[in-house]
Chains A and B, each alone.
Chain A
Amino acid sequence: MAEQLYNAIFVGSIYALFAVGFALVFSVLDILNLAHPVVFMLGAFVALFFMSTFGAPAALAAVAAFGVTGVFGIFLDRVAFAPLRRRGAPPLSAMISSLGFAIVVIRLMELRYGPDLVSYPAGSLAQTVLQIGDARLDGLRLLIIGLAIILMAALTYVVRATQLGRDIRALAENPRAARLLGVDVDRAIAATFFISSGLGGVAGALLGFAYNAIYPQMGTPYELKAFTVMVVGGMGSLPGAVLGAYILGIGEIAALVFLPAEFAELRDALAFGLLFLVLVLRPRGLLGHRVADRA
């Protein structure tokens, strides 16, 4: 039981890191970045690259993953979103543009690494097991959970207490006013993507470490879960995304434990049924703002 809870928190932590970046872009730019799963996957592969090519330790590789995918996120914005923003295009166009971008990058990765599972270099990942009472817990996952919490705390600090965070929040609330008030909009947007993609990339690297199996399409299932997380937690709300992520993580593990095996797929249906119910009954989710009519 304790192990299952532990797993649930681990899964929730990964979801949280993934979803919070996704929610950040949505809250600032009102678009669904369908290329987000790509930076998730890239983070895992960047870590792999650093570990196999330079023999870097996993910790350093994770930092590299953050940095590289962060910068990549800025590139993604310049190529796929910025031209549409200049034109004042609706969010649908941004979604499709990011989709095209994702297709290209995933395919490139498949060409380079093949579509199958790839592992990290042997012996590069800690294999510790902690004994807490009756439970035998994987030490690596504990580390990951801790790291995730630290990252989210850091994000909270940046958003709440720094000038940059204020700029980003201003941009999210009212782009035109923000610009008029002197906020460097381009810088704030670039920072948004750097943070969003960096977090997504780190999430991918950490997940990769935990399962020691990565592949180019690994981000796709997370995309759909991110929708659920965002909706349940509240679209565009960062704490909501975190809350939603843990709810989903716990819910999924609970379903795994309590539902008989034949109904395994119903687990997924639960997530989406939940998503659907929330949208219909309380579109703003748990912590989101009122979904006013876009009139």
Chain B
Amino acid sequence: MDAIVDFFRVYQTTIGVIGINALLALSVWVTLYAGQLTLGNAAFMAVGAYGAALLGMRFGVPFPVGLALGALLSAALALPLGLAVFRLRGVYLAIATIGFGEVVRVVILTLPFTGKALGLNGIPPVTELWHIYLSLASVAYVLWRVQGSTVGRAWAAIREDEIAAASQGIAVRRYKLAAFVAGAALAAWAGGLSAHLNFSIEPGDFGFTRAVQILVFAVVGGTPSVAGPIFGATLLTALPEVLRPLKEYRDIFAGLILMGVIIYLPRGLVTLAELRKTRRLQEIGAADVA
């Protein structure tokens, strides 16, 4: 029992980060599920982080309200962005979102009240683990239920074939936008939680590398179900800890694992669990990631 409590205390931050990364992975998952490849969620995370932190520190806004406002602000940004890029596909969409992400990062670097390159310090560490995991559980539950609903099916149809989906009565633009905005709001919420977990944030936390990292969580974990991104985030966040004995060679193994998974397990790690069922054997390789 003591060992468990000790473990917990030592790894508390990591466990918190895992939960936040899982939320971020889900934020990308939502948009991927609707067939959109976005690398802008790190920017939305930044909006949520800075938004919640600044509102709390400068205006004394209560923590949950700050989180909500950060998410709202992110959604408000995501809407015109989503409309602007809605016609883009695949790689072009990815690059557009990368561009957006970089613009946000630079704006943060330039605005006077964000602390610029030094970032914000002294953010009250009010995030508790239960905040993170309650958020995660709720979001995961909602997304799981949505997946089996008309909305979820519409998203899946759009992902599979946008043109055919339109002919089934699906207002493609509206649904894509909804997924995009939902992802943005989710990333912002996670950002707000993260800012109050780490005491300080700086623009470098939210750049291209971060965006790619989040994407990798979702893709490596697996995209068929909600469990995938959560699993991917958990594994890849914990991996550096697990690989700690390997010291300098950690990153090399991480890179190799990444390549191995993407080449041999196209729908992500969760498909390992499904390999036993014969029907799923068809699925692996049949319909691929976004």
Please tell me whether chains A and B touch each other in their complex, using a CB distance cut-off of 8 A: yes
- Tell me, in angstroms, the Cα distance from A88 to B259 when the chains sit together: 16
For A84, what are the chain B residues with a Cβ–Cβ distance below 8 Å?
Answer: 262-263
The smallest C-beta distance from B50 to any residue of chain A, in angstroms, reads 16
The smallest C-beta distance from B142 to any residue of chain A, in angstroms, reads 25
Cβ-based interface call for A60 (8 A): no
Task: Specify the main secondary structure of chain A where it touches its partner.
Answer: helix
For B56, what are the chain A residues with a Cβ–Cβ distance below 8 Å?
Answer: none
**Stretch of A1-9, A150-158, A177-185, A273-281 at the chain-chain interface:** A273-281
Q: A32-B91, A101-B255, A101-B259 are in contact. Are A224 and B216 (CB under 8 A)?
A: no
**Once the chains bind, are B252 and A224 in contact (CB under 8 Å)?**
no
Contact with B along A76-98 (1 / 0, CB 8 A): 00011001100111111101110
Cβ-based interface call for B289 (8 A): yes
For B171, what are the chain A residues with a Cβ–Cβ distance below 8 Å?
Answer: none
**Stretch of A40-48, A168-176, A242-250, A260-268 at the chain-chain interface:** A260-268
Cβ-based interface call for A254 (8 A): no
Q: A91-B90, A268-B106 are in contact. Are A228 and B99 (CB under 8 A)?
A: yes
Report which of A92, A107, A111, A279 forms a contact with B92, defined as CB distance below 8 A.
Answer: A279
- Tell me, in angstroms, the Cα distance from A230 to B106 when the chains sit together: 21
For A272, what are the chain B residues with a Cβ–Cβ distance below 8 Å?
Answer: 98-100, 102-103, 106
- Tell me, in angstroms, the Cα distance from A293 to B162 when the chains sit together: 10
With an 8 Å Cβ cutoff, the count of chain B residues facing the other chain is 47
- Tell me, in angstroms, the Cα distance from A253 to B238 when the chains sit together: 43
For A103, what are the chain B residues with a Cβ–Cβ distance below 8 Å?
Answer: 251-252, 254-255, 258
Cβ-based interface call for A30 (8 A): yes
Report which of A31, A108, A276, A295 forms a contact with B103, defined as CB distance below 8 A.
Answer: A276
Name the residue of chain A whose CB is nearest to the CB of B264.
A83
- Tell me, in angstroms, the Cα distance from A280 to B94 when the chains sit together: 12
Report which of B90, B110, B258 forms a contact with A265, defined as CB distance below 8 A.
Answer: B110
- Tell me, in angstroms, the Cα distance from A90 to B290 when the chains sit together: 8
Of residues 229 to 271 in A, which have CB atoms within 8 Å of B's CB atoms? Answer: 230-231, 235, 262-263, 265-266, 268-269, 271
Contact with A along B175-218 (1 / 0, CB 8 A): 00000000000000000000000000000000010001001100
- Tell me, in angstroms, the Cα distance from A266 to B229 when the chains sit together: 34
Q: A90-B289, A263-B110 are in contact. Are A227 and B256 (CB under 8 A)?
A: no
- Tell me, in angstroms, the Cα distance from A272 to B100 when the chains sit together: 7
Name the residue of chain A whose CB is nearest to the CB of B116.
A265
Report which of B85, B208, B256 forms a contact with A279, defined as CB distance below 8 A.
Answer: B85
Report which of A31, A32, A99, A262 forms a contact with B216, defined as CB distance below 8 A.
Answer: A99
**Once the chains bind, are A295 and B256 in contact (CB under 8 Å)?**
no
**Once the chains bind, are B95 and A279 in contact (CB under 8 Å)?**
yes
**Once the chains bind, are A92 and B88 in contact (CB under 8 Å)?**
no
A interface residue count range (under 10 / 10 to 19 / 20 to 34 / 35 or more):
35 or more
- A-B contacts, 29 listed (Cβ < 8 Å): A30-B91, A32-B95, A79-B259, A84-B262, A87-B266, A90-B289, A92-B94, A92-B219, A96-B215, A96-B220, A99-B212, A99-B216, A100-B258, A101-B259, A103-B255, A103-B258, A104-B251, A104-B255, A104-B256, A107-B255, A224-B208, A231-B92, A269-B103, A272-B98, A275-B99, A276-B99, A276-B103, A279-B99, A283-B92
Cβ-based interface call for B89 (8 A): yes
Q: A228-B99, A273-B103 are in contact. Are A89 and B288 (CB under 8 A)?
A: yes
For B90, what are the chain A residues with a Cβ–Cβ distance below 8 Å?
Answer: 90-92, 294
Contact with A along B258-290 (1 / 0, CB 8 A): 110011001000000000000000000100111
Contact with A along B89-123 (1 / 0, CB 8 A): 11110111011101100110110000000000000
- Tell me, in angstroms, the Cα distance from A101 to B259 when the chains sit together: 7
Cβ-based interface call for B163 (8 A): yes
For A96, what are the chain B residues with a Cβ–Cβ distance below 8 Å?
Answer: 215-216, 219-220, 258, 262
For A228, what are the chain B residues with a Cβ–Cβ distance below 8 Å?
Answer: 99
For A266, what are the chain B residues with a Cβ–Cβ distance below 8 Å?
Answer: 106, 110
A87, A89, A96, A262: most-surrounded residue (chain B CB, <10 A): A96
- Tell me, in angstroms, the Cα distance from A272 to B290 when the chains sit together: 25
Cβ-based interface call for B170 (8 A): no
The smallest C-beta distance from A266 to any residue of chain B, in angstroms, reads 6
The smallest C-beta distance from B105 to any residue of chain A, in angstroms, reads 8
- Tell me, in angstroms, the Cα distance from A240 to B216 when the chains sit together: 30
Name the residue of chain A whose CB is nearest to the CB of B263.
A83
**Once the chains bind, are B88 and A283 in contact (CB under 8 Å)?**
yes
Name the residue of chain B whose CB is nearest to the CB of A96.
B262
The smallest C-beta distance from B118 to any residue of chain A, in angstroms, reads 13
The smallest C-beta distance from B134 to any residue of chain A, in angstroms, reads 31
Cβ-based interface call for A130 (8 A): no
The smallest C-beta distance from B27 to any residue of chain A, in angstroms, reads 17
**Once the chains bind, are A93 and B96 in contact (CB under 8 Å)?**
no
**Once the chains bind, are A268 and B102 in contact (CB under 8 Å)?**
yes
For B248, what are the chain A residues with a Cβ–Cβ distance below 8 Å?
Answer: 107, 111
Report which of A102, A230, A276, A295 forms a contact with B163, defined as CB distance below 8 A.
Answer: A295
Cβ-based interface call for B5 (8 A): no
The smallest C-beta distance from A260 to any residue of chain B, in angstroms, reads 12
Cβ-based interface call for A291 (8 A): yes
